[in-house]
Structure formats: structure tokens, C-alpha cells
Amino acid sequence: MNRILKYEDVTQFDQETDVVVAGYGGAGGCAALEARRAGSDVLLLERASGGGGSTMMSACEMYLGGSGGTRLQRDLGFADSTGNFRNYLEACFAPNVDAERMRLFTEGAAAHFDWVEALGVKYKRGCFEGRDVVALTGDSLQYTGNERAWPFTDVATPVPRGHLPADAGHEGGVRFFTALKARVEEAGVRVQCDSRVTRLIQDRSGRVCGVVARSAGQDRKVRARQGVILCCGGFIMNEAMTRRHIPELDAIATRHGNPGDMGDGILMGVAAGGQAINMGEAFVGIAHYPPPQLTFGIFVNQQAQRFVNEDVYLARLGHYAAQQPGDRICMFIDNRHFDRPAYLKVDMVAVDDSVAVLEREAGYPPGALQQTVDFYNRHAARGEDPLFHKARAWLCPLDTPPYALVSYRLSEIRPPVFTLGGLDVLPTGEVVDPERQPIPGLYAAGRTVAGIPRNSKGYASGMSVADVTFFGRLAGIQAARQPRC
Amino acid sequence: MNRILKYEDVTQFDQETDVVVAGYGGAGGCAALEARRAGSDVLLLERASGGGGSTMMSACEMYLGGSGGTRLQRDLGFADSTGNFRNYLEACFAPNVDAERMRLFTEGAAAHFDWVEALGVKYKRGCFEGRDVVALTGDSLQYTGNERAWPFTDVATPVPRGHLPADAGHEGGVRFFTALKARVEEAGVRVQCDSRVTRLIQDRSGRVCGVVARSAGQDRKVRARQGVILCCGGFIMNEAMTRRHIPELDAIATRHGNPGDMGDGILMGVAAGGQAINMGEAFVGIAHYPPPQLTFGIFVNQQAQRFVNEDVYLARLGHYAAQQPGDRICMFIDNRHFDRPAYLKVDMVAVDDSVAVLEREAGYPPGALQQTVDFYNRHAARGEDPLFHKARAWLCPLDTPPYALVSYRLSEIRPPVFTLGGLDVLPTGEVVDPERQPIPGLYAAGRTVAGIPRNSKGYASGMSVADVTFFGRLAGIQAARQPRC
């Protein structure tokens, strides 16, 4: 498909506006609202029959902090300096950090929370301090990532930063989007659903000055006097793209996203002269908790060696599990701590009162598993994990038979995967070419761009929604600043 | 820099030819020669003051086999079926394999050897069966990669496939290029050095119909009636690109390539509508041999755990070493097997007659190194390595004190790194857009494209030169087939 229509070939526009936003998820909604509030006429085009995107499908956790603490963090007695927030995020993604993007985000995240709350999203002044992917207690603050896990505890003071709509559980995205949509409508953004942006209109100078939108089988040409903002999601649903860019994960992935995550925004942006970066990175999550007590277990690879501290976030486990040679990851656990994981279907490889028998039945090299378990137990009894520094709270000798080996093979679990690569943009959303020169009139935000989270190793729940809404707003503001032409 | 000049903006061409080849390394030289032999008028433009590129800097090992064996393999008594060759290569790079490219290469590699020999490159009928990066015995055949190492031995019969110019040691590239250059000149290819191709000329239909070449401060416009072939090398010397695409390696790399590896071809191809793929992958090599006896040692990470069979190729070691948490890789070895590595400067962390003392001095968790060494020695004494299946020939208990821990920290070694990402092309060299539609008139080969070798984990010496010369030829043939316009 040709993703560019030349401006010279357009005889007539069917519609005209200041700013076109392509895609009505979290990023697109925030971009449209800010552009409209700044005085632009805004047309929001959505491929599906209604807005929401992946943000609405999520719990809408937002990973926010800094500035001494967001209003929610402070109300609950947590201090979080901008430096502490930044140290944590840099440890997550270094060296793959866009310094200016990181600075704007860590300095502005607390004010972003106020903005979101002012949309009408309710947050409950309660903190869930347990270990769960999404707090189901109704509380609005929780630890979501690796804050309390090594090596992050070496560089940043643990603070809960996951901000969840009140009493929403996994439904936070609906709460958030309902509020956002109401403000978008009040503000007077024109929304057209069932309208898929298929092409950018670009003039001879390289300026993007409109889009072609397909609606009910008709192509409509829309002029954008100030600019076009691509918020079309990632590419996890585009199998040709995932085969090409994340081949190792393509085969085992449960594709996590919305059906519109077809890479449209990335493909159009690249066709207009932009560059896609970080395309080989993706979130891969193994929800080894809840229940939290499974954190007492240990993961071993096909050498029966441990490879990670088990108190990490599920995407960090996913990252290291995917790296191990072979597709054989097991949890070793004893009867005292065993339970079924809440979000995963796992198979038992072997159960026995003797680790030696378990080892033999599972086909590990003689002595390998026993040695790993002995070493772990010996140190756990003293509250130590000298190999991977799992936090003391999760250290307890695994010595209550029967013992179990539980399979966490990625090819069986088929972990959720979504993409973390996309267009290279300035923090203001301007799409840049490979030499980082902006393409006039073209902006992007959301998972269409390479944002703050750039690998699974450092990802935490809430990083995507925080990033896409925060930088969606900046893109809207930036486009609305442009002269009309 | 704007990488595209619009055809409509060209008032006059300074020069005209059928095929322009940009870059006179192994790929460009072969492309030019084949296009010329097929009857095209060919202009070869080289940025440096002379041809050669990275191919000339290399030992010019070519990784070839299949078809029952190349002439050299067969003369030395080695059979190598196409299936065996393909099984090996697929195990190296799966699932990141371009099936059609792989098929053409494995079926055509033996004939490619004949073609190279017919250029006038001499090959000596001798096989070096030892373990070295480049045979220094003058022999022309050797094992260069992981052929004799697990897990490759499970899927393919080991065969030596590294084809080296006779008696050339590390100077094979000069021998090869001298022969190639003579044939290029005889054939009547026009060569212009000190001419850097900076822009592609593209018409309104998207067809590439020429280039802008900068020479002595002047821009010259060259019309290419049949096509342009980009053979400009990779991007390891372009620090903005390496920071963006291989951030983890950027900081520790010794940049391995020629000064022209600035990504010019990739940037021009992308600007013309092509797509760059595999951009996050690079070769990273830790030359832990020769001397071969170092293969008896074991590598441990900061957990004092082994993580690879030590008889692998240096780029596989590099891959796994770079993946280990932290920057702490050591070799544990005993006095019987210790020697200084030939190609690396390494520091001793500790030397002692007792493994326990060594462990303490090096700061490993108590018991961790002793356990790893005991387990290894116990099985090595029986000729077994149940964890990583190092070949029996390299298994011997490390029990002759004093013992040493030798540091292989990547940040100290600063391993050679070169890039394995580039333009997505059809096997015939046609540059394709993200939807795999060819861009008319545009071809590419060499490290400007994503070729056969796509990661460090499966790389072997000789894969680059084999790939770039083989597919350079195909690109030349394909361009020469086009109608002149």
C-alpha cells in the first residue's frame, strides 16, 4: 500500500481542520483535547467504531512520581523526589534513554496526575502494599514494578508509583476513558469513528498537510492546516511486522493489544521520511504472581541454574526467561509455598518428596538441581540470597516436602507480548528523520513511537499509559502552536 | 542531510551510465563486475581514495559449503550436502531467517567458490583442523564457527567451511581484492574513487534513476538508466546511529570496520522508501582463543555460574557474555591449561592454590565458585559436561594449582563490534518498502543490507564476506537485466 499521497495530486479536499489526530486511544484523546484547549480546530479519526484503544482495555495504571510526590503519593505519606524517580527509570532502561524525554517526564509526571484527576478520574486515597499485578482492593496506589527488587534498590528508594482509578480493578481503562471522552466532547473536538487513516498527504517540501481517511469504503481527503498527529498504536497485531522485527517472540506470543495495533502509524511515518527505532524490543510478561507466595519459589533454566531474583516484575522475569538457552524454565517450590498462579495455566513436571528423585524425573544433570536448591536453602535460612539478592521477605528455605517442579516454558505459557518500538520523535512529538530533523507537520505519540519504556527488562505496569497520555498531550500542544497554512 | 534529490529538480546530468554502484568493497566490486559482464555500462563510485572496504581489511574468509561440498572441501575429502549446510545456518539464525535468501545461498555457495577461484584467487588444498580464528598455517580450509560445538552438533554434521586465500593469514582480503580489482578493470567497469554518493535521484513514480556524487567539493549528478546498487557498508562508524540502534554495545565497542561504514547506504535507502531491519543486532566478539588450550577453562558470570560451552565461536561467547547481568565475566582456569590469549589483553583477578581463597578474594558468594568448579570437575573427569555439552576434547578437570580467575569484563576488553542490520532486500538485491514492494531502480548488497548473518549468537568467521560477495553478484545481475530508461 502506498502510504503517501502527493499534495500536488490532490485536486480537492473533502474536509479541512487545523489538527488531525489519527487514533482515539489514550494518546490520541489527550493530544486532541490539548490541541483543542489551545484553540485549534481538531478532527479525531478512529479506525474502530468507538474510541478507547489499548488504554481502555488496560487497568489504566499510570506510572507517575517525582516533584516530591504526586498529590496521591503525598496524601498517602510517600515522598518521591524527581531525582529518585529518574534514577529508577534510568536504571530500568539505561543506556537506551532519551535524556530530554526522560527529563520532561520525570519533572512533569506529578502535574500530569493533577491533570488526569481534573479530567474527572477518581483516585482513592489508599495504598496497596502487597504484591499483585493490579491491586484488587480498590486502592489507587501500588508498587507495580521492580521498585523493591535488586538491583533497583541499590540506586533508588522504593516508592509506589502505580496510580489506579479508584475501585476499578482491571477496569480502570474504562473509567479513565469515560472521563477523557466527556472532556473531549465538551471541548468540541470533532470525532469520526469507523475512519481509518490510510495515507498522509505530503507536499513537495516534505510538509505533511493532511490525510486520506477511509470510511464506509470511501476515501476522504482531509486538509490539516497545523499538523497531523499519529496515535495509531503499536504493531503487535501486524504479523508480517512482528515476524520481521521480533522473530524470537513472534512464535510464542499471545498478542496483547487492540485489533487496530497494525503498525499503521509507524508505516505512514516511515513513508513520510521518519525512522522507526527500537523495533526489536517488546514487552514479554510471565505473571508468576499472584498469589504472592509463589515468589518464595525459585526459577531454574535447563541447566537447573537460577537466573533472576524471583521478586521482580513479571516482564523482567519474561526478559530473562526468554534469554535462557532452550525453552525450559521451571519453578522449584515446596509444599509450604505452592499454589496455582492466578493468571497462568502451568503444568507440573514432577512432584516428589526427594529433590534427587525430582531431578532425575525431570531429566536434569545429576546433582545440578540438588546443588542449586541446597545452595539456595543454605543461604535463605540466613535471610540471604547472595546470587540474585531476592529481598529478605521472600527468602525461606524450600524444605517442606513434597517438592514440585512447575513448567514455565514460554512455548506453553504463550506470554502476552506487545511492541516497544516505533517512530523516533522529539519529546514534543515531532517525528524526525534518521538525522533527527523534524518532518514539518507530522507528530506522533503513544505506542506508535519509541517512548519511555524501551525494553521488557525494566518495564513496570503503568509505564505505557503514563507515557502515552503525557506525551500525547505534548504533541497536541505542539501541533496547536504551529501557524496555519 | 536531505538524501533524496527529486528528478524533476535535475536540469542536467553530468554523467550517464546503465548501472551505478555506490561503494567499492567486496559487495560493490562483485556487483559491478557481474553487471558489466552482463553487458551493462557500469560506473563504480567509491568514497575513499581506493577500493577494498571492510572486505580488504579482513582475512577474506568465506563461509561456503553445500552441493556435496565446494571444490576445495571435496578436494580435501569433506562432503557437505546442501541440507547439512542449511541445517547448520538455520540453527545459527532461526527464527530470523529469510527462507528464499537462505535457499539461494546454500544452493549456490559451492558454485560461488568456483567463481571466486576463477577470479584468480589462490586456494591451497590443505585443511587446518585446529582451533584458531584464522588459520596461520597457510591452509585454505578450516572450521571457523560453532560447527563442532553444541547445540549445532545435534542438527548438522560438522564440516569445515571457512575458505581462506592460500598462505595469506590475516591478509586474505588483500589477495582477494587484488584479483577482483584486476577483473573489474579488465571488464571495463569505470571506477571513480574519492566520490561519495550522497543522494539518490528519484522520480515522481518512486523510481530511482541516478545519484548525486560529491567529488573534490563538487556535486555531480549521475543518471543510471538501469539502476543504482548501494554497497556502502554498515553503520558501525556512525556514532549517532550506533547510540540509537545498539545502545548496549555502543559504550563498550571497539568499532570494527572501515571509516566509510557511516550508514550512508541505509540512510539513502530508507529515505527512498526502503526499510531498515534487524538494526539492533551486531557482532560482538571475545577472542578467547587462540591459544586453543584456553578452551579447557570455564567462564563464569557474577553469580559464579557457567553460561556457555567454552568451545564456541568467539561471537557466541560475546553474545552470551553481553547478556549476563552485570559486567563481570571471568575465566576460571588451572595452571596446567593457563596461557595468555593471543588477541586479548586480560587482567588477573586472583591467583591462589585454593579455590576457596580465590573465591573469597574475587568476592564471589561463599561456596558459589567452589560448587561450580566441583560440579564441572566431577563431570569433566568422566568426559562429560551435562550443563553445556562442551565437546569431550576440551574436558579435563581443572585441578592443577595454582588456579586463576581472569577478567573478561566487556568494558575492559572492549570487544570488536560491527552491525548486522540494514536495508530489507529481496535475495536479488531489490530494496523493498515495509510492505515488501520493490522500489524500482534501487538495489543493495553487503552490510548495507540485513543479510544471512543476523545475530552474534550464530555468527561464524567468513559469513559476512561470503554473503556480501554472493549477493553482491546477484544484485549486479538483477540490475543489468532491467530495461534502460
Interchain CB distance below 8 Å, A375 and B387: no
Question: Model confidence at B326, in pLDDT bands (50, 70, 90)?
Answer: confident
A368 located within any domain: yes
B441: left (phi over 0), alpha (psi -120 to 50) or beta: left
Residue B484 has pLDDT above 90, yes or no: yes
Cross-chain Cβ contact A267/B434 below 8 Å: yes
Neighboring chain B residues of A435 at a CB cutoff of 8 Å: 1, 240, 267
How distant is the Cα of B1 from the closest Cα of chain A, in angstroms?
A: 7
Task: Tell me the pairing of strands B15-22 and B4-6.
Answer: unpaired
pTM of the entire structure? 0.95
Interatomic CA distance for residues A408 and B86, integer angstroms: 31
Question: Is A332 within the bounds of a domain?
Answer: yes
Which cell goes with A105?
517526564
Amino acid at A209: C
Provide the percentage of residues in chain B whose pLDDT is more than 90: 98
Q: Which residues of A touch B204 (CB under 8 A)?
A: 6
- Measured between beta carbons, the chain A residues lying within 8 angstroms of B435 are 1, 240, 267
Per-residue pLDDT, A188 = 98
B89-104: per-residue pLDDT in tens? 999 999 999 999 999 9
Which residues, including other chains, have CB under 8 Å from residue A119's CB and lie 6 or more apart? A176, A179, A180, A183
Any CB–CB contact under 8 A between A435 and chain B? yes
Residue B177 forms part of a structural domain: no
Hey, is the C-beta of A393 within 8 angstroms of any chain B C-beta? no
Please tell me the distance from the alpha carbon of residue A396 to that of residue B259, in angstroms, as a whole number: 56
ipTM for the assembly: 0.91
Query: Rounded to an integer, what distance in angstroms lies between the CA atom of residue B69 and that of residue B380?
Result: 35
Distances (CA, A) of B40 to A59, A182, B225, B375, B429: 62, 65, 10, 64, 17
The answer as to whether B58 is a domain residue is no
Contact A95 B248 (CB under 8 A): yes
Residue A2, pLDDT score: 86
Q: How many domains does chain B have?
A: 1
Which chain A residue has the Cα nearest residue B363?
A386
Type and span of the H or E element at B187: helix B172-187
Could you identify the residue written with the cell 531491519?
B277
The shortest CB-CB distance from A434 to any of B267, B365, B367 is to B267
Q: What is the pLDDT of residues A68-81, one digit of tens each?
A: 999 999 999 999 99
Q: Would you say residue A375 lies in a domain?
A: yes
| Alpha carbon separation from B314 to A402, B137, B221, B248, B318 (Å, rounded) | 43, 20, 44, 18, 6
Interface test with B, best of A245, A262, A317, A377 (most B CBs within 10 A): A245
Strands (E), A3-151: 4-6, 15-22, 42-45, 62-63, 127-128, 141-142
Mention every residue, 6+ apart, whose C-beta is less than 8 A from residue A155: A87, A88, A91
Domain interval for residue B399: 292-413
Q: Which of chain B's residues have a Cβ under 8 Å away from the Cβ of A434?
A: 241, 267, 270-271
Using CB atoms, which residue from B244, B277, B368 is nearest to A244? B277
- Between chains, do A435 and B378 touch, taking CB under 8 Å as contact? no
- Which residues of A are less than 8 Å from B238 in CB distance? none
Interface residue A154 vs chain B (CB under 8 A): no
Between positions 43 and 102 of B, the ones with CB within 8 A of A are: 95-96
CB pairs under 8 A between A and B: 91
- pLDDT of residue B54 exceeding 90, the answer is yes
Nearest-CA distance A273 → chain B (Å):
6
Contact by Cβ (8 Å): B447, B418: yes
In a domain, B485, yes or no: no
Q: Which of A270, A386, A388 sits opposite B434 (nearest CB)?
A: A270
Domain of A318, CATH number, reads 3.90.700.10
Each residue of B360-380: pLDDT tens digit?
A: 999 999 999 999 999 999 999
Please indicate if any CB of chain A lies within 8 Å of the CB of B169: no
Q: In this structure, is residue B145 part of a structural domain?
A: no
Touching check for A6 and chain B: CB below 8 Å? yes
- Contact flag B277-A279 (C-beta cutoff 8 Å): yes
Write the single-letter amino acid at B341: P
Residues of chain B positioned with their CB less than 8 A from the CB of A375: 367-368, 371
* Cβ pair B275:A270 closer than 8 A: yes
What pLDDT, on the 0 to 100 scale, is given for residue A336? Answer: 97
| A381: phi then psi, degrees, rounded to nearest 5 | -60, -25
Closest residue in B to A204 (Cα–Cα): B6
Report the alpha-carbon distance of residue B135 to residue A286 in Å, rounded.
46
Instruction: List A residues 262-301 in contact with B (Cβ-Cβ < 8 A).
Output: 267, 270-271, 273, 275-281
Mean pLDDT check: name the lowest of A342-346, A472-476, B16-20, B158-162. A342-346
- Measure Cα distances from A426 to A312, A433, A471 in Å: 31, 11, 10
- The list of chain A residues with pLDDT below 70 reads none
Alpha-carbon distance B266 to nearest alpha carbon in chain A (angstroms): 10
Residue B360 lies in a domain: yes
A247, A277, A375 ranked by CB distance to B245: nearest: A277
Whether residues B375 and A368 touch (CB distance < 8 A) is answered with: yes
B366 touches A at CB < 8 Å = yes
Candidate from B95, B250, B277 with C-beta closest to A248: B95
